[in-house]
Amino acid sequence: MSKKEYKLEAKELNAYYGGFHALKGINIAMEEKTVTAFIGPSGCGKSTFLRTFNRMNDYIEGFRVEGEILLDSRDIYDKKVRVDELRKEVGMVFQKPNPFPKSIFENVVYGLKIQGIKKKSVLEEAAERTLRQAALWDEVKDKLQKSALALSGGQQQRLCIARALASQPSVLLMDEPASALDPISTAKVEELIYELKKEYTIVIVTHNMQQAGRVSDYTAFFYIGELVEYSKTKAMFTSPKDTRTQNYITGRFG
Ligand SMILES: Nc1ncnc2c1ncn2[C@@H]1O[C@H](COP(=O)(O)OP(=O)(O)OP(=O)(O)O)[C@@H](O)[C@H]1O
């Protein structure tokens, strides 16, 4: 009998900022082409955990992990893993849209150029494909050479999503991707997440419970560094098992 393969897994994961124990014995397994929402009160470790999946915390002095993070059953903290390759496979979108002060086109193809891809037709094809995927193509196709900074916040965030998709990742990590956006732009990003999960495995940190309910298949509730509860989103919101989860989702704290 073959063992079920997950896209992403954490096994007995502990994380520390120096002497501070930020993540405590986390176990989770996420299926391919699903959306998982991380929820929980401020400071409970959601972003720290999200960033372990592409080793974004490596830059922080004193940060270390124990346990395993598996991508397609391979340990991404193994010494043989090339972090630049990992980050191509596991793309990331941040809370505040952070386009470079360059043209729309240059933003999307930035990662490809760093990889040494120079051919114009390849770059143009990639730009169109990812801008279409990010539901931005129709709005920018006539001004690709204009500055990305002239776009609205919502457009900038979709541009950052296009930029993350250009290196053809299989996983997309999103750290509160809509919290700086207006309601219409938020709705667009949520629709986009729904479309993108046909091709990508998505993990999203959100403070917005309605958003978790709308976009995610599974929800993980964190509390002071622990993963308290992890289940199908519908089940978590209708019948949470732990009283801490119940208190949080009914707005009693956080
Ligand atoms: N660079 C750092 N150095 C030291 N401690 C940190 C660092 N980053 C985060 N922490 C601590 O780790 C804990 C978890 O932080 P994290 O940002 O992961 O929480 P979070 O749940 O994402 O919070 P929020 O919802 O406010 O963004 C917090 O106590 C925080 O103070």
| 46 Cα to the center of ligand 1, angstroms | 8
CA distances from 213 to 152, 206, 208 (A): 26, 10, 9
Q: State the Cα–Cα distance between residues 68 and 12, nearest whole angstrom.
A: 7
The number of the ligand 1 atom at minimal distance from the alpha carbon of 45 is: 18
- Pocket residues for ligand 1 (CB within 6 Å)? 17, 20, 22, 40, 42-48, 60
Least confident of 69-78, 182-191, 195-204, 216-225: 182-191
pLDDT of residue 45: 97
Residue 254 lies in a domain: no
Residue 237 lies in a domain: yes
Residue 137 scores a pLDDT above 60 = yes
Residue 1 lies in a domain: no
Residue 216 lies in a domain: yes
Q: What six digits make up the tokens of 109?
A: 């193809």
| 116 Cα to the center of ligand 1, angstroms | 35
Residue 62 scores a pLDDT above 90 = yes
Instruction: Name the DSSP class of 207.
Output: S
pLDDT of residue 241: 96
Q: What's the number of CA atoms in the CB half-sphere (13 Å) around residue 46?
A: 23
pLDDT, tens digit, 9 for 90 and up, residues 214-223:
999 999 999 9
User: ipTM of this complex > 0.85?
Assistant: yes
Residue 223 lies in a domain: yes
pLDDT of residue 94: 94
Residue 207 lies in a domain: yes
Number of structural domains in the chain: 1
* Nearest residue (CA) to ligand 1, atom 27: 42
* Nearest residue (CA) to ligand 1, atom 9: 48
* Nearest residue (CA) to ligand 1, atom 25: 42
Q: State the Cα–Cα distance between residues 142 and 31, nearest whole angstrom.
A: 38
pLDDT, tens digit, 9 for 90 and up, residues 141-159:
999 999 999 999 999 999 9
Of the two residues 252 and 36, the one the predictor is more confident about is 36
Q: What is the pTM of this model?
A: 0.94
| 49 Cα to the center of ligand 1, angstroms | 10
| 47 Cα to the center of ligand 1, angstroms | 7
Question: Which band of pLDDT confidence, cut at 50, 70 and 90, is reported for residue 3?
Answer: low
Residue 52 scores a pLDDT above 70 = yes
- For residue 108, the domain's CATH number is 3.40.50.300
* Nearest residue (CA) to ligand 1, atom 12: 22
Pocket test residue of 20, 38, 58, 209 for ligand 1, highest count of atoms within 8 A of CB: 20
Q: What is the mean pLDDT of residues 65-94?
A: 96
Residue 164 lies in a domain: yes
Q: State the Cα–Cα distance between residues 14 and 143, nearest whole angstrom.
A: 46
pLDDT of residue 202: 98
DSSP assignment of 88-108, as one string? HHEEEE-SS----SSBHHHHH
pLDDT of residue 252: 76
Residue 3 lies in a domain: no
Give the structural domain span for 167: 8-249
